[in-house]
Structure 1
């Protein structure tokens, strides 16, 4: 390119910039890439390395002071963003015996996946559920919720769970609202297990129980691990094992058959002993929590060895395959419902 033309272009770009204009031809390849090129990376967080920091935080910061005592799992390629993917947030929350995490609500949808400990509860819109390791608990958008740890059956111990929220997604749309409750714990107006009895047995009330709120999320807000595990192991004994997923089931809203929340989907899968999976990929960035077993995930050609309670993330369009020298159970959540609604979900299952 000759000097005269180059100088003319510089003058053009400068005058355009003064008018808050930019040349598309200089950035088109980044704005419309040939395939996804996410700015975040595959990563794994080892629970054994995180737990000492959580317990130390429990000594130094009260639940009341913190509101939510959480260590955010920040993607190493996006420091300071409080995000594990472009659209999702993840963190490990600790509640100690006798503590209450006060009631609040927000437009961000949230899930809890119980990692360790027992004796704690979550209350959602006036109903409590006692939490056990492996349970999947929802707090859909704008639902009042609080947490407490009074102990159970005379046992009181620290309880840790994985929080998953659509915070980055809501932030992108500038649609975040929050409100604190008048009391630390909301009033209990329904007995424990009420929502599951009404909606969790392939039945639903003829006249809706929850007239006071819009059903944007599943009316079942607690999915016990005992039921999930039984389903996976029954299918593993009686069905062919999928070459990519092992045995994988998605959690559903029993009223619609869709995802439990509009912005976050969740699954549980079993990789039977000796499983060596084929590579697959999808446009949904996915966060995994290891429930049982030791194994490895190869993500974009990089191998990550995992143990129970570890957390790892698979970026959009990165290939992933699993190896399980023993039975492995994985919980996962992703932004799949949004991609499906927008017609942006794409998957590829590679033959080898």
Structure 2
């Protein structure tokens, strides 16, 4: 945002804001029924304010029932804007990834820069020529066009986000899998 010169912030006048959503709601009722008002205007960002981890984790678990793990990603899903099927934000993609215990991935390179947060589990990540151990609550970055591979000592869940949507929109995203 600083590079584009369009960042800003405003102080909210109250101590906290009130949420119009009820506890447990993550989609307005009309959206949950797969319907929208006729003249609904689609914004650039997802209407979901919080993507609940328990639901996302369950979706990952269901993916494991659909077949073998991908040799590079294990089981990986992307968060979506339910109104468009696109990414939750126009400039940032978010992902959740499960690496089964004992999984060793092949090496991949992508043009997006990716920040990973280890939600569950432990293992090793090789970024370029360097290998690092990781465990729950660790954070690491894979810079653009650096090879990355994973080895999971335990079943591991990784949350990640990147600038992939911008690169895809501009036709700049590339990936190489070895």
- Cα distance in 1, alignment partners of residues 31 and 120 from structure 2: 25
Q: Which residue of 2 aligns with 1:248?
A: 76
Structure 1 unaligned blocks of 5 or more: 1-169
Are residues 1:285 and 2:116 paired? no
- Cα distance in 1, alignment partners of residues 127 and 92 from structure 2: 22
Q: How many residues align?
A: 178
Q: Which residue of 1 aligns with 2:18?
A: 187
For the pair shown, which has the larger CA radius of gyration, 1 or 2? 1
Are residues 1:321 and 2:152 paired? no
Which of 1 and 2 has higher RCO (CA within 8 Å, sep 6+)?
2
Q: 2:64 aligns with which of 233, 236, 254?
A: 236
CA RMSD of aligned residues (A): 2.0
Between 281-290 and 216-225, report the one with greater CA deviation. 216-225
Shift in CA distance, 332/202, structure 1 to aligned 2, threshold 3 Å: farther
Q: 2:45 aligns with which of 201, 217, 220?
A: 217
Correspondence list, 1:292-303, <5 A: 292-303=120-131
Give runs of ≥4 in structure 1 deviating > 6 Å: none
Correspondence list, 1:82-97, <5 A: none
- Cα distance in 2, alignment partners of residues 200 and 270 from structure 1: 28
CA contact (8 A) 2:79 2:95 kept: yes
| Higher fraction of helix | 1
Shift in CA distance, 306/254, structure 1 to aligned 2, threshold 3 Å: same
Q: Deviations over 1:98-157 (max 9, x none)?
A: xxxxxxxxxxxxxxxxxxxxxxxxxxxxxxxxxxxxxxxxxxxxxxxxxxxxxxxxxxxx
CA contact (8 A) 2:101 2:153 kept: yes
- Cα distance in 2, alignment partners of residues 230 and 293 from structure 1: 16
**Shift, 1:208, TM fit:** 7.3
Structure 2 unaligned blocks of 5 or more: none
Shift in CA distance, 191/284, structure 1 to aligned 2, threshold 3 Å: same
SS at the partner of 1:255? coil
TM-score normalised to structure 2 length: 0.92
Q: Which residue of 1 aligns with 2:36?
A: 205
Q: Which residue of 2 aligns with 1:136?
A: none
CA contact (8 A) 1:199 1:219 kept: no
Shift in CA distance, 243/190, structure 1 to aligned 2, threshold 3 Å: closer
SS at the partner of 2:44? coil
Q: Which residue of 1 aligns with 2:3?
A: 172
